[in-house]
């Protein structure tokens, strides 16, 4: 209780992967006061503008309060009977691969666990993918190639203990603001050097000692050049390479073949970066969507990992490669197998032993044994009529997927579409045959994992409104209705978490990294009071870093150095489409604004969709500040407010991805983005579309 007699609830922010702890106080009239939790290790009381405005986003104005079938309100029994019957009938007629789930990094771990168990273990397909595919799939693939596991080696503390932090493809100041605050404070206290690698000048550059504004898509050449420089200047850790890695010779030969000047950077700046990296033992390289969202995303990740592995700078205080995830529970999704190419508990779909272990644990009638459809391929299959029943939970792909117009048309044409969400007012929810009201942040009860492997509780401070139910309960109810009564007989998130933790113990015994078996016996009371806990959690180990001992999760225990080749983005500029469009986030909005759009103060920062464009490009196009521009790609059109700025490089304007609009022309920027995938990770190239621009 606080001084006013209001109960305080500890929870976590629902936005980015920093995973800040918050304290909530409900006012008893539906309102909520939100403050930073001083005891949470991720933020130590800090919040960013989005976190501070959370209390303004919990009203019931746009909430979905009862199930709807074809637009008519109905009860849960009728709606869930229909969902279970249509999925069962479709599977009986067309097989398990004719249905799909598309879920979200906003779901809690318990939600993810039940959805993945239903699809992979009982329906028997791996056609479950998540919007995290658009966010960090290339990191997952890069980690698995190099480490034999999807392991984030370090912790947030490393950013504060480093002497050099390289931020590549990461606008930390806007996209992970509290981590940026921690880094800025460390820099002020101990003089941390900071290098920003980004084609655009972003707010993060305000604290940079060096900004490398490379040409889009040339990151592999820059890091290959660094690898070769480190070798040529005697800056490698020969003992670590010899004892703990394979592939050095091929990697060095390949790296030496790339000319870093293809980046368009001044040779002196390149050399200065290389000298800083070579001379600084305590170096952390932070990477994010600018690396991941590329048809070469996995190679970019491995080019970075190569440099850390070859210098032995991994898993030790103040050093290592560090992926920061976009969403609050992208990591929990990875842990439960929410991606179409993963099993549960970081086990491998490609391993017969792993599949058998999971099937035995679940006592399931079948198990998916091959990867399912990844996001872009899933919506393509829906459009081609190969997927005949679709369930979308907690995400808005009609706005956020590449080729968004085609995705919207595919969902509309799908014979049966279920959407579970908190509002009927999204582009995707408007296309649903069945709408299911889910609980939202402030009402949900479960766990999330942030970017440094810390598991935190999300606790409810508000009652579920109307007939809204938790996502795990909705999936479990459909599982029971499809005939798997015992397997989905959950009464609380605690039961699901214990099962998830117990399964991870099997993974641990099979030599996997993700093991939280030390939490498998939590009592209900222990789960209720669970403090933020970094995994692994076993009988012998709790938290800490990975790989400092040089042991990896590959069959021979050695990390893989991987030869990777510089290649241009998939789409080439042409006289018809002469500009390369970069997309991303703004500081105060989140995803498609279904929550942040409810807080008026967040719209004061940047109130409308815009095109940030260099003055030379604007002059050549006859565009003045505040004009409207029509931006056209081979796939779609958007109308955006012109914002003239030297922060955007010449030829490469920037547009945020948050805004939508039901009628064309609108500001659905992902309608411009081509569905070109990284061949390894399946992550689409969201930052290198080709467009034409004209005055509107």
Query: Strands across the sheet with 454-458, in order?
Result: 446-449, 454-458, 533-534
- Number of alpha carbons in the 13 Å side-chain half-sphere of residue 101: 32
Q: Are 73 and 79 in contact (CB under 8 A)?
A: no
* DSSP helix/strand/coil, 481: helix
Other C-beta atoms closer than 10 Å to the C-beta of 571 total 20
Q: Which is nearer to ligand SF4, 342 or 593 (CB)?
A: 593
DSSP 580-625: EEEEE--SS--TTSTTGGG-GGGGGTS-S-EEEE-HHHHHHHT--T
- Number of alpha carbons in the 13 Å side-chain half-sphere of residue 648: 26
Q: Does residue 10 interact with ligand SF4 by CB under 6 A?
A: no
Of the candidate residues 10, 11, 20, 292, the single one contacting ligand SF4 (CB under 6 A) = 20
Of the candidate residues 15, 273, 416, 553, the single one contacting ligand SF4 (CB under 6 A) = 15
Shortest approach of ligand SF4 to residue 522 CB, angstroms?
24
Residue range at the interface with ligand SF4 (CB under 6 A); choices 26-34, 41-49, 163-171, 205-213: 41-49
Shortest approach of ligand SF4 to residue 17 CB, angstroms?
7
Nearest residue to 494 via CA among 515, 513, 472, 478: 472
Q: Closest-CB residue for ligand SF4?
A: 51
Residue range at the interface with ligand SF4 (CB under 6 A); choices 10-18, 97-105, 265-273, 419-427: 10-18
Residue range at the interface with ligand SF4 (CB under 6 A); choices 11-19, 85-93, 259-267, 413-421: 11-19
Residue range at the interface with ligand SF4 (CB under 6 A); choices 12-20, 581-589, 639-647, 669-677: 12-20
Q: Does residue 16 interact with ligand SF4 by CB under 6 A?
A: yes
Helices 137-147 and 297-310, axial angle in degrees (round to 10):
40
Buried b (16+ CB within 10 A) or exposed e, 130-152: bbbbbbbbbbbbbbbbbbbbbbb
Shortest approach of ligand SF4 to residue 565 CB, angstroms?
35
Tokens of 199: 């084609």
Other C-beta atoms closer than 10 Å to the C-beta of 24 total 24
Q: Which is nearer to ligand SF4, 287 or 577 (CB)?
A: 287
Cis peptide before 166 (omega within 30 of 0): no
Cα–Cα dist 362/372, whole Å: 19
Q: Which is nearer to ligand SF4, 40 or 512 (CB)?
A: 40
Of the candidate residues 11, 32, 35, 43, the single one contacting ligand SF4 (CB under 6 A) = 43
Run of H or E including 179 = helix 177-190
Q: Which is nearer to ligand SF4, 392 or 461 (CB)?
A: 461
Shortest approach of ligand SF4 to residue 328 CB, angstroms?
7
Q: Does residue 48 interact with ligand SF4 by CB under 6 A?
A: yes
Shortest approach of ligand SF4 to residue 456 CB, angstroms?
10
Residue range at the interface with ligand SF4 (CB under 6 A); choices 17-25, 113-121, 376-384, 642-650: 17-25
Of the candidate residues 58, 146, 164, 178, the single one contacting ligand SF4 (CB under 6 A) = 178
Other C-beta atoms closer than 10 Å to the C-beta of 70 total 10
Q: Which is nearer to ligand SF4, 51 or 684 (CB)?
A: 51
Shortest approach of ligand SF4 to residue 171 CB, angstroms?
13
Q: Does residue 13 interact with ligand SF4 by CB under 6 A?
A: yes
How many residues line the site for ligand SF4 (CB under 6 A)? 14
Cis peptide before 536 (omega within 30 of 0): yes
Look at the alpha carbons of 535, 541, 547, 548 in this order and tell me if their dihedral is positive or negative: positive
Give the list of residues 6+ apart from residue 242 with CB closer than 8 angstroms, or none: none
Shortest approach of ligand SF4 to residue 7 CB, angstroms?
22
Of the candidate residues 9, 24, 32, 47, the single one contacting ligand SF4 (CB under 6 A) = 47
Q: Which is nearer to ligand SF4, 51 or 169 (CB)?
A: 51
Shortest approach of ligand SF4 to residue 518 CB, angstroms?
26
3-state secondary structure 507-531: HHHCCCCCCCHHHCCCCHHHHHCCC
Shortest approach of ligand SF4 to residue 326 CB, angstroms?
10
Cα–Cα dist 308/291, whole Å: 16
Cα–Cα dist 387/102, whole Å: 12
Could you give phi then psi for residue 440, rounded to 5 degrees?
-120, -175
Q: Which is nearer to ligand SF4, 245 or 325 (CB)?
A: 325
Shortest approach of ligand SF4 to residue 9 CB, angstroms?
16
Q: Are 607 and 588 in contact (CB under 8 A)?
A: no
Shortest approach of ligand SF4 to residue 584 CB, angstroms?
15
Residue range at the interface with ligand SF4 (CB under 6 A); choices 18-26, 290-298, 574-582, 618-626: 18-26
Q: Which is nearer to ligand SF4, 52 or 654 (CB)?
A: 52
Residue range at the interface with ligand SF4 (CB under 6 A); choices 47-55, 206-214, 430-438, 521-529: 47-55
Separation in Å, CA 75 to CA 10, 71, 81, 642: 33, 13, 10, 47
Q: Which is nearer to ligand SF4, 178 or 241 (CB)?
A: 178
Could you give phi then psi for residue 223, rounded to 5 degrees?
-80, -30
E strands, 453-577, are: 454-458, 533-534, 559-560
Q: How far, rounded to the nearest angstrom, does the alpha carbon of residue 497 sit from its chain's CA centroid? A: 21
Cα–Cα dist 214/211, whole Å: 9
Q: Which is nearer to ligand SF4, 14 or 216 (CB)?
A: 14
Shortest approach of ligand SF4 to residue 18 CB, angstroms?
4
Q: Which is nearer to ligand SF4, 48 or 207 (CB)?
A: 48
Shortest approach of ligand SF4 to residue 54 CB, angstroms?
8
Q: Does residue 593 interact with ligand SF4 by CB under 6 A?
A: no
Maximum Cα interatomic distance, the chain, rounded to a whole number of Å: 71
Q: Does residue 177 interact with ligand SF4 by CB under 6 A?
A: yes
Site for ligand SF4 in 49-78 (CB under 6 A): 50-51
Q: Are 220 and 565 in contact (CB under 8 A)?
A: yes
Quick note: the x/- pattern for ligand SF4 over 125-164, rule CB under 6 A, is: ----------------------------------------
Q: Does residue 326 interact with ligand SF4 by CB under 6 A?
A: no
Q: Which is nearer to ligand SF4, 337 or 584 (CB)?
A: 584
Residue range at the interface with ligand SF4 (CB under 6 A); choices 108-116, 176-184, 293-301, 594-602: 176-184
Quick note: the x/- pattern for ligand SF4 over 492-531, rule CB under 6 A, is: ----------------------------------------
Residues that bind ligand SF4 (CB under 6 A): 13, 15-16, 18-20, 43, 47-48, 50-51, 176-178
């Amino acid at each position: 209780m606080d001084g006013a007699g209001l109960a305080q609830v500890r929870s976590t922010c629902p936005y980015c992967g920093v995973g800040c702890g918050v304290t909530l106080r409900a006012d008893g009239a539906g309102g909520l006061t939100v403050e930073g939790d001083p005891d949470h290790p991720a933020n130590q009381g800090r919040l960013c503008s989005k976190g501070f405005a959370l209390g303004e986003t919990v009203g019931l104005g746009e909430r979905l309060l009862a199930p709807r079938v074809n637009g008519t309100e109905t009860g849960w029994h009728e709606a869930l009977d229909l969902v279970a019957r249509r999925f069962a009938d479709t599977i009986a007629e067309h097989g398990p691969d004719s249905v799909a789930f598309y879920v979200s990094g906003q779901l809690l771990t318990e939600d993810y666990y039940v959805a993945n168990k239903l699809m992979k273990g009982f329906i028997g397909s791996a056609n479950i993918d998540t919007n995290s595919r658009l966010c960090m799939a290339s990191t997952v693939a890069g980690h698995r190639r190099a480490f034999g596991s999807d392991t984030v080696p370090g912790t947030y503390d490393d950013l504060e203990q480093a002497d050099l932090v390289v931020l590549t493809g990461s606008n930390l100041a806007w996209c992970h603001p509290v981590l940026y605050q921690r880094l800025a404070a460390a820099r002020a206290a101990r003089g941390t050097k900071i290098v920003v690698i980004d084609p655009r000048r972003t707010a993060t550059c305000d604290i940079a000692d060096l900004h490398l504004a490379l040409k889009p898509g040339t990151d592999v050449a820059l890091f290959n050049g660094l690898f070769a420089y480190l070798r040529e200047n005697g800056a490698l850790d020969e003992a670590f390479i010899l004892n703990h890695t394979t592939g050095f010779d091929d990697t060095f030969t390949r790296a030496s073949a790339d000319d870093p000047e293809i980046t368009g950077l001044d040779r002196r700046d390149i050399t200065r970066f290389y000298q800083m990296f070579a001379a600084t033992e305590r170096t952390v390289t932070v990477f994010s969507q600018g690396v991941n969202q590329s048809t070469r995303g996995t190679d970019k990740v491995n080019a970075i990992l190569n440099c850390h592995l070859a210098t032995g700078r991994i898993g030790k205080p103040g050093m290592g490669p560090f992926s920061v995830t976009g969403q609050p529970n992208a990591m929990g999704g990875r842990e439960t197998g929410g991606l179409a190419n993963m099993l549960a508990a970081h086990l491998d779909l490609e391993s017969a032993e792993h599949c058998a272990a999971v099937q035995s644990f679940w006592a399931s009638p079948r198990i998916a044994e091959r990867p399912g459809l990844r996001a872009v391929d899933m919506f393509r299959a829906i459009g081609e009529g190969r997927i005949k029943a679709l369930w979308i939970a907690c995400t808005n792909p009609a706005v956020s997927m590449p080729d968004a117009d085609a995705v919207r048309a595919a969902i509309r044409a799908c014979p049966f579409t279920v959407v579970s969400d908190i509002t009927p007012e999204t582009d995707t929810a408007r296309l649903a045959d069945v709408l299911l009201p889910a609980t939202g942040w402030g009402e949900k009860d479960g766990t999330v994992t942030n970017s440094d492997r810390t598991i935190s509780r999300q606790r409810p401070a508000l009652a579920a409104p109307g007939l809204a139910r938790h996502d795990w309960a909705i999936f479990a109810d459909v599982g029971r209705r499809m005939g798997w009564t015992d397997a989905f007989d959950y009464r609380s998130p605690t039961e699901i978490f214990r099962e998830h933790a117990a399964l991870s113990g099997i993974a641990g015994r099979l030599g996997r990294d993700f093991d939280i078996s030390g939490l498998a016996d939590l009592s209900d009371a222990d789960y209720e009071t669970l403090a933020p806990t970094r995994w692994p959690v076993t009988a012998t180990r709790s938290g800490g870093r990975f790989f400092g001992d040089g042991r990896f999760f590959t069959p021979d225990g050695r990390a893989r150095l991987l030869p990777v080749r510089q290649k241009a983005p998939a789409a080439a500029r042409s006289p018809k489409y002469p500009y390369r469009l970069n997309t991303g986030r703004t500081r105060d909005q989140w995803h498609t604004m279904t929550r942040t759009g409810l807080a008026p103060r967040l719209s004061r920062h940047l109130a409308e969709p815009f095109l940030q464009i260099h003055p030379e490009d604007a002059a050549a196009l006859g565009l003045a500040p505040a004009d409207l521009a029509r931006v056209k790609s081979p796939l779609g059109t958007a109308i955006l407010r012109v914002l003239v700025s030297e922060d955007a490089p010449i030829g490469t304007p920037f547009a945020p991805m948050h805004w939508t609009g039901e009628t064309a022309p609108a500001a659905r920027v992902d309608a411009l983005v081509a569905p070109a995938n990284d061949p390894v990770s399946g992550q689409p190239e969201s930052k290198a579309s080709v467009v034409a621009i004209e005055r509107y």
